[in-house]
Structures are given as structure tokens and as C-alpha cells.
Amino acid sequence: MAPPISLENAQAAVAAAVNESKKRGWKMNVALVDSGGNLVAFARMDGAQIASVAISEHKAKAAATFRRETKVFESGIQGGNNYLITLDGVIGSRGGIPLVQEGKLIGAIGCSGGTGSQDEVVCKVGAGTVK
């Protein structure tokens, strides 16, 4: 297992996601967890939905736990694979992306506050800071 994402890199990813949200006029919550699903960095933009605080963290944890984008669950559930909703920790909404460095999971980012597509766009910008 790789070392978890550093605080500095986590904050940079969150900042990139927040900056993208600002450019687009969206109000988001952005959570970043380590490879074990533990919160490392978080930002709640002014005016972002309070309920989306927990949702952003849930998306990040699910992406880290299952080592895949949460979009996979959304697509699976929409495609009729309802067994997915029985799995602990699954969230059927895009906007959760695992962070992989040199082939190893180092964390995950989760965004919530907009539509699923908006959450995903912002998360991809944040995830893009991790090489």
C-alpha cells in the first residue's frame, strides 16, 4: 500500500476543485480522504447545501473503499443492478473519484452541492492535481 496523500497535496486538490466551482458559479462541498477513507481536507463554500457536507465525504469514502468512481454505482443502479444498493458504503451518485499515484491508491475526493454532472466536473479538476 502506498503512503496516504499528504495534507499539502490534499489541500491543493480541494483548492483546485473549489476554484473550478467558483469559476462556474457553483457552490460545493469538497471532501478529501486518505486511502483508508479518513478525512484529510475539506471545504464548504459559502452558500453550499448543508446536507451536501456529509454527501461529499460519503462519495470520497466510497471511491476509496471500492477503488472506483462513484459514477460506476450510479450507472449500475440506473441499469437495473439494484443489488448495488445493498452494499454497505455505496452511494449511487457521481462525484467521487479515487486518487491513484504510481498505480497505488493514496486517497479519494468527493464533491457535492450541484447536479451529479457538476459534482463530477469539479471532482475531476481536483483529482487532476494528483499525478
β-pair type (39-44, 29-34) = antiparallel
- Closest CA relative to residue 39, chosen from 17, 13, 58: 58
Tell whether pTM > 0.85. yes
Question: What mean pLDDT is predicted for residues 47-73?
Answer: 97
Of 4-18, 31-45, 70-84, 109-123, the one with minimum mean pLDDT is 70-84
Identify any residues that bridge with 111 across adjacent strands, giving them in sequence order: 30
Residue 104 has pLDDT above 90, yes or no: yes
Predicted pLDDT of residue 54: 97
CATH number at residue 30: 3.30.450.150
Please give the grid coordinates belonging to residue 117: 454532472
93 phi and psi angles, rounded to 5 deg: -150, 135
Q: Is residue 97 part of a domain?
A: yes
What average pLDDT score do residues 90-118 get?
96
pLDDT at 1: 61
pLDDT of 2: 73
How many domains are contained in the chain? Answer: 1
Integer Cα distance of 8 and 65 in angstroms = 22
Domain assignment present for residue 1? The answer is: no
